Amino acid sequence: MSRLEEYSSIPAGFLECEASELYRILDGPTLIHLSGAKREPLFICTLLHGNETTGLQSLQRVLKHFDGALPRSVSMFIGNVEAARYRQRHLPSQLDYNRIWSGGEGNEHAMTRKVLDIMADRDVFACIDIHNNTGRNPHYAIVATQEEVHLALARRFGHRIVYATYPDTSCSAAFSKICPAVTLEAGVVGDASGVDHVSRYLIDCIQSDDWRDSDTDDFNLYHTVAVVKVRETCSVGILGEDKDIELLPDVDRFNFHLMDAGTQIGTTRNAGGVCLSLEGVDRSSALSDYLTTANGELRTVKPIMPAMLTTDCEIIKMDCLCYLMERLL
């Protein structure tokens, strides 16, 4: 059972603790409220995936930077402490903590509803949910709505913004109904530039009252149109590994690059066509609109831009092969 813990101060040892050691300090999902000069809190979410540690490292750096004198109140949600202990996205017995924020009757869903209710009662100022990628991707922000205040919050992070309405069960999608909300994708775990970038961004947001004075022209807006998944009954690997789906060893180089029609990203066995499924914003879309598995080759059907391609096949099975995007602006 995921029982929410709450604190009104930083637990002893939190600022120095590695993500894998948090279980010694926190009993599970934890909400920490810290008072600042401005009452309405900035909600910062991290470790919804236990192996994505940039958010925790950035929070620790930011809290040390302000040294108890916060310009704005901050509420921090530390998510899957148990998965972080084992450096896993989530444990086999758990749901994905970034897919439990909208609907559902389980204990995890009840926990996230409680977080949303608590933050709404506190007049939450904005929501920032921090993640890492497993493949090579540039840093980017995700929004669930194109309303200006959400886009402005995203622009402060960088010029790449993804508008994604699917899946709608993420933390930032749920918070977008009550406040400006953004998900940050801060590169791979262990890349110091991700911690640097997120830390600067959090300091900026804690000090700011309004983000809408940021540059409105210097950004690219992409729309997620589909998610490609590998079915549970099929295997996935890298070329030469004798799997149902085999990907190029550098397949993640295509992320955030427009692939021409006919671009090969891997190979398939005869079952390749039934090993992939498409989940899309437009339910009339089919896998064959984007990818073909003819002649044992996995190729694009039309120009399309992917995100989150990775060579980490365990993550592909747990999450997806990739997201497919089209440019809006």
For residue 269, name the pLDDT band (cuts at 50, 70, 90).
Answer: confident
Q: Indicate if 174 and 234 belong to the same structural domain.
A: no
Q: Residues, the chain, total?
A: 329
Mean pLDDT of 295-320: 96
Model confidence pLDDT, tens digit, residues 85-127: 999 999 999 999 999 999 888 999 999 999 999 999 999 999 9
For residue 212, name the pLDDT band (cuts at 50, 70, 90).
Answer: low
Mean pLDDT of 47-75: 98
Final residue in a domain of this structure, among 178, 201, 218: 218
Q: Is 304 helix (H, G, I), strand (E, B) or coil?
A: strand
Question: Residue 214: pLDDT above 90?
Answer: no
Final residue in a domain of this structure, among 170, 189, 218: 218
The pLDDT, as a whole number, for residue 216 is 57
The pLDDT, as a whole number, for residue 283 is 75
Question: Residue 162: pLDDT above 70?
Answer: yes
Q: Indicate if 179 and 33 belong to the same structural domain.
A: yes
- Asked if residue 72 lies in contact with residue 37, where contact means CB atoms within 8 angstroms, the answer is yes
Total domain count, the chain = 2
Model confidence pLDDT, tens digit, residues 131-146: 999 999 999 999 999 9
Spacing of C-alpha 163 from chain mean position? 13
- Domain region containing 255: 224-327
Q: Indicate if 124 and 255 belong to the same structural domain.
A: no
Distance CA 92, CA 319 (A): 13
For residue 215, name the pLDDT band (cuts at 50, 70, 90).
Answer: low
Q: Indicate if 80 and 198 belong to the same structural domain.
A: yes
Distance CA 323, CA 93 (A): 25
